[in-house]
Amino acid sequence: AQKITQTQPGMFVQEKEAVTLDCTYDTSDPSYGLFWYKQPSSGEMIFLIYQGSYDQQNATEGRYSLNFQKARKSANLVISASQLGDSAMYFCAMREPYSSASKIIFGSGTRLSIRP
Amino acid sequence: DTGVSQDPRHKITKRGQNVTFRCDPISEHNRLYWYRQTLGQGPEFLTYFQNEAQLEKSRLLSDRFSAERPKGSFSTLEIQRTEQGDSAMYLCASSLEQVHSEAFFGQGTRLTVV
């Protein structure tokens, strides 16, 4: 069964520092996709970055990058040069496309707080 | 396209009443998902559709919950005989079916059962 684990309920980081948010996953399917979403206090879910299991390189999108370690089944989100607006909940998610249950499941999230 | 829209945004109901929520996905998206989210938690999967077919329903979902997507476009989620434990944010999302296709979320419907 699919499972996503985010072990950091909350993190505090100084503005302009880099931060790594941890995500581990469990799947027996060799083909899958990993996503990160941001949810500010306003409540909307904002897609940040995607990593496919067969992608050779780690995904990057602006200040976001994904540290993908397939053997360890981890997909950590790295935010460089953090900004006050990065304060939000962050969710890791996974989809297994070829299983009969090709839904997207989410972890419990990490609340990131940026200190000025 | 204006994205995924959900209606209503807020719903207060008395325990025991039935409620129905609507979700209009992005028009070209054939996948539609329903999630429930409580404060400080991640979205919990409820059910999802590919076009009009309901492909999976969470085992955590009681028989009081039902969802439809009759013409493969909008979807409704009905909760019968609401309980206080049903109070949560109900999120709808849609996507294409490719593995790399992210889900786009609506603003959610906040349900309060009193």
Closest Cα in chain B, distance from residue A50 (Å): 7
The pLDDT of residue A101 is: 47
Q: Which of residues 6-35 of A touch B (CB under 8 A)?
A: 6, 31-33, 35
CA–CA distance, A106 with B28 (Å, rounded to integer) = 24
**Strands across the sheet containing B5-7:** B5-7, B19-24, B75-79, B65-68
Q: Which residues of B touch A38 (CB under 8 A)?
A: none
> Residue A97: is its pLDDT beyond 90?
no
Residue A99, pLDDT score: 57
Whether A68 contacts chain B with CB within 8 A? no
Per-residue pLDDT tens listing for chain B (114 residues) = 579 999 999 999 999 999 999 999 999 999 999 999 999 899 999 999 999 999 888 887 789 999 999 988 999 999 999 999 999 999 999 998 877 888 999 999 999 999
Q: What confidence tier does A91 reach under pLDDT thresholds 50, 70, 90?
A: very high
Please choose, from the candidates B113, B111, B98, the residue with its C-alpha nearest in 3D space to the C-alpha of residue B6.
B111
B99 contacts A95? CB cut-off 8 A? yes
Instruction: Find all residues with CB under 8 Å of A61, minimum gap 6, and list them.
Output: A48, A49
Q: Find the closest chain A residue to B47 by CA distance.
A: A103
Instruction: Evaluate whether A108 touches A8 at the Cβ level (below 8 Å).
Output: no
